[in-house]
Amino acid sequence: MAAWATKLRFAAPVLLKQIQQRYPELSTVEKVTIRILQPMEDPRTTLPSITPPHLSVKNAQLLKELAETLDDAELRAALERLARHAEGEPGDPD
């Protein structure tokens, strides 16, 4: 867009003369101003909306069962926290 605006600005004096010659009713026009509007959003270039991760109750249960088998307390606690994010679970942060 900016490149076209620059080309048109350079051509403005010639455009003005041609307008005045071709359209006598516009002979009082003294200046041609080139303005570029912000382009409308192109749906092909906009980012899709990000949906929050989904964790089913069944997968949450599998995580809980896996956590119960672990000796590593930190990993067990992390899996249990993750399991609490299941849809419909009490304590769901949503």
In a domain, 44, yes or no: no
Domain of residue 30 covers 1-38
Establish if 28 belongs to a structural domain. Answer: yes
Cβ atoms 67, 60 nearer than 8 A: no
Does the pLDDT at position 42 exceed 70? no
Confidence at 94, pLDDT banded by 50, 70, 90: very low
Q: Are residues 93 and 57 in the same domain?
A: yes
**What is the pLDDT of the chain when averaged over all its residues?**
82
What does the pLDDT look like over 5-22, one tens digit per residue?
A: 888 889 999 989 998 899
Lowest mean pLDDT among 13-17, 26-30, 42-46, 60-64: 42-46
Determine the Cα angle at 60 with ends 57 and 63, to 5°.
155
- Report the largest interatomic distance among the alpha carbons of the chain, rounded to a whole angstrom: 91
pLDDT for position 34: 84
Instruction: Look at residue 77 in the predicted model and tell me its pLDDT.
Output: 93
Q: In angstroms, how far is CA 81 from the centroid of its own chain?
A: 31
Nearest to 1 by CA among 54, 46, 37: 37
Q: Is residue 45 part of a domain?
A: no
Whether residue 55 sits in one domain with residue 94: yes
